[in-house]
Structure 1
Amino acid sequence: MSTRRRASTRHAGPVVGPARVDARTKRLTARLQPGDVAVVDHADLDQVSAAALVACAPVAVVNAASSTTGAYPNMGPQILVEAGIPLLDAAGSEVMSLPEGVTVTVAGEQLLVDGAVVAEGVRMTPELVREQQEDARGNLSEQIEAFSHNTMEYVRAERELLLDGIGVPELRTSFAGRYALVVVRGYHYKEDLQTLRPFLREARPVLIGVDGGADALLEMGHTPDLVVGDMDSVSDAALTSGAELVVHAYRDGRAPGLERVQALGVTDAVVLPAPGTSEDIAMLLADELGAELIVAVGTHATLVEFLDKGRQGMASTFLTRLRVGSKLVDAKGVSLLYRSRIPTVSLVWLLLAGLLALLVALAVTPGGRALLGVLAVRWDDVWAWMEGLFSP
């Protein structure tokens, strides 16, 4: 039985909504509204993109590509299906030509406009998602072998990252003797930021947003001190928030994100040509500028996370962690180890202050004075009894 036939044995009724079309999922989620139909072209839909789609509450997602190609067990389709969002998969590249905002209907395995079928795909079900993930797990050994080979090749090419660093630009943000928080809009970044509230409040670290990580900080009510990245997935609000901007450029100095920054009227952005990813650059900057501790939120460290990002090796990340060393800790570790505590002395003083306030309140009211008089008599009785116990 074909995959399409097995998928079609179970699906919900038709859903209708305006189509929002974009080949880049993270760009689409910036304008996607509840009730829309998201039309994407995203092979191997990753966990972060799927979670962003779910947060936008579309009535359906139509993917021109295969949400799982079988290269590795990506979690995106499972997240959408478990959220109850219909996923029409492998609908073909024609769907990317749909006019923005046109009303479309997703009915079974078909996509319709004005009652006419414009595309057909595979309606994903929980059973089909699990089957595809099991098949993909069988390919992980090949992925690990290729990943390791590519990593070592890139290590040879980028070894100067470990030996020479990236070359520290002149920044106005001071890191010396402070902690730094590097926020990437990655896995579980929202939960991690919530657990770090006591740390943020008491340690007051330098806040570094890596592209969309700057928006994550703004959503929590914090203004980033530094925004690092190629500036393709960060909002205008974050870029004009007053944060210092470091535009990550290619080795040859080309910085595609600089034009956007300058168009917003920001004239003092720093361009930093360097190998590696933007999150690596943020950590290296914090290290070389004197941060005592670097706490990472939402960063990538596992094989599946790197494959989700479309990376075939992790040389720069490997070298960055070697260079930064013990300064770098994951946010989850900080949330477990760091607890906001009230000192015992403060608790004692708080208790004494409460008792004093109670005594003052009793002393200034007739009923209170009467109660204090009764308590005084009772205390005299207790004291006399205690003296009697020790009298010869």
Structure 2
Amino acid sequence: MKLSGLLHRTHHELPGATGVARVDRRSGDLLRRLGPGDIAVLDHVDLDRRTAEALVAAGVVGVVNASPSISGRFPNLGPELLVEAGVPLVDAVGTAVLREVKDGAKVRLHEGGVFVGDKEVARGVEQTAESVADAVVEAKAGMAAQLEAFSANTIEFLRRERTLLLDGVGVPELFLPIRDRQVLVVCGGPRHAEELRALRRYIREHRPVLFGVEAGADTLHAAGYAPDVIVGDPDGIGTETLRAGSEVVVPAQVDGHAPGLERIQDLGIGAVTFPASGNAEDLALLLAESHGASLVVTVGLRAGLREFLDRGNAGSTPSTFLTRLKLGEKLVDGHAVAALHRSGVSTGVVVLLVLAAVVAMTAALAVSGVGQVYVDVVVDAFRSAVEWVKGLSG
């Protein structure tokens, strides 16, 4: 009994990260099965930001990649995000790991080794903040080739989806009136929940139409908002969120297949499909623009050069680029909106300050016995001030 207890303690005191292995060569299929405490075993060259975000959101305690997470073609963002989140990443262990590690097995990661029980079944490089930074610097040399490929893919995408981008053909109808209203699109990017909190005042004052894109829809619901429109694969969205949404739009592939549509049907929730090759974020923006939104504010979206090149599906990069071109001046980043609201003083506060000053002045004049004529002058000045403030807020 004592020996058994000693062995039990020794097993749990072994160094490294221990969890249940979830194994799949295809990252998309694997992400649907992950849960807290799992170790993801995948084969994903140039781990992109969206996949890394989904891994962190799932609560994995480690990631094993059969391929290099940074191949050197371009400075992708996924490994950096995992390391910043404290998730161990064992990199470039070879494809044999997909056979050696069985789905559901208990595995341990330590100093680049992948262990099943006491046996090391694979070995790679455990990435650190320093190693990722060095790899990103080296990878910047590959950006020229990526830009050439991006240009070619953009032309091909425009040829294939020109009727959608130019004429809005294929954009589904929505019951919710959007024309001439502001739209807030919340996506599941880094720190998107924090960005949403910074926009509470904007939401309260302008009451925009709320679009939740996949994880962003859950964030909206968790923050106490009911999403007006939910866009994305329903398999990655919580049931309560789906039930709270007014309308659900499910992206469909070119052949008409819409992943997650069966779940929507099982829940008895109405939904429309949006056949297009773009990602869910781009489709949400196209929905807002096609239905006449006056302004589209985004949360959790990044559109820098690295973000354009860092896509899990290379074909979606032109979609992202061309969608933003189509929206043009209507598209505003949530950071800018939050900064403007922080720097300004609300109309209500200004009016209260003016009113307080008028009351104090009126009381002083009345007490001093200066006369009613002066009180009338102050009241007139107050009315003028209110009109001036209204002009500023308008």
Structure-2 residue corresponding to 1:186: 189
CA distance in 1, matches of 2:138, 2:248: 43
Structure 1 residues 76, 118: CA separation in 2 closer, same or farther (over 3 Å shift)?
Answer: same
Contact 1:87–1:124 under 8 Å retained in 2: yes
Say whether the 8 Å CA contact 1:251–1:275 is kept in structure 2. Answer: yes
- Kept in 2: contact 1:21–1:96 (CA 8 A): no
> In the TM superposition, what is the alpha-carbon distance from 1:256 to its structure 2 partner?
3.0
| CA apart distance, 1:227 | 0.8
Whether 2:224 is the aligned partner of 1:221: answer: yes
Alpha-carbon contact 2:38-2:61 (below 8 Å) kept: yes
Displacement after TM superposition at 1:151 (Å): 0.9
Does the Cα contact within 8 Å between 2:23 and 2:103 map onto a contact in 1?
Answer: no
Aligned to 2:4: none
Equivalent residue, structure 2, for 1:154? 157
- 1:231 alignment partner, one of 220, 234, 243: 234
The residue matched to 1:43 in structure 2 has which SS? coil
Is 1:206 matched with 2:205?
no
1:312 corresponds in structure 2 to 314
Distance 1:45 1:354 in 2: 64
Separation in 1, partners of 2:238, 2:302: 22
Cα distance 1:206–1:310, how it changes in 2: closer, same or farther (>3 A)?
same
Q: 1:205 to 1:121 in 2, by over 3 A?
A: same
Amino acid at match of 2:154: T
Partner of 2:70: 68
SS in 2 for 1:238: helix
Instruction: Tell me by how many angstroms 1:263 deviates.
Output: 1.9
After superposition, what is the alpha-carbon deviation per residue over 1:169-223, rounded to whole angstroms, capped at 9, x for unaligned? 3322121332111122124423321221211121111111122221121232212
- Identify the residue that residue 91 of structure 1 maps to in structure 2: 93
Alignment deviations for residues 254-292 of structure 1 (CA, whole Å, 9 cap, x no partner):
3233222112222x2112323433222222222232322
Aligned pairs, number: 345
1:257 corresponds in structure 2 to: 260
Task: Show CA shifts across 1:5-27 (max 9, x none).
Answer: xxxxxxxx821422241543796
Instruction: Quickly say closer, same or farther: Cα 1:31–1:318, change in 2 above 3 A.
Output: closer
Question: How far, CA to CA, are the matches of 2:213 and 2:180 in structure 1?
Answer: 22
The corresponding residue for 2:117 is 114
| Structure 1 gap segments, 5+ residues each | 1-12, 360-378, 381-392
Using the alignment, how far apart are the partners of 1:306 and 1:77 within structure 2?
Answer: 16
Preserved CA contact (<8 Å) 1:229 1:247: yes
Residue matched to 1:136: 139
Matched AA of 1:237: E
Which residue in 2 is equivalent to 1:19?
20
Contact 1:306 1:312 in 2 (8 A): no
Does the CA contact (< 8 Å) of 1:181 and 1:296 recur in 2? Answer: yes
Of the three residues 285, 291, 294, the one matched with 2:293 is: 291
**CA 1:56–1:91 in 2, change beyond 3 Å: closer, same or farther?**
same
Q: Which has the higher helix share?
A: 2
Code of the aligned partner of 2:336: G
Paired residues of 1:293 and 1:327 also in contact (CA < 8 A): yes
Name the CA distance, whole Å, in 2 between partners of 1:163 and 1:203.
Answer: 29
Give the distance between the partners of 1:134 and 1:265, measured in 2 at CA: 50
CA offset at residue 99 of structure 1? 4.3
Q: Which runs of 5+ in 2 are unaligned?
A: 1-13, 369-394
Tell me which residue corresponds to 1:124.
127
What code does the residue aligned with 1:184 have? C
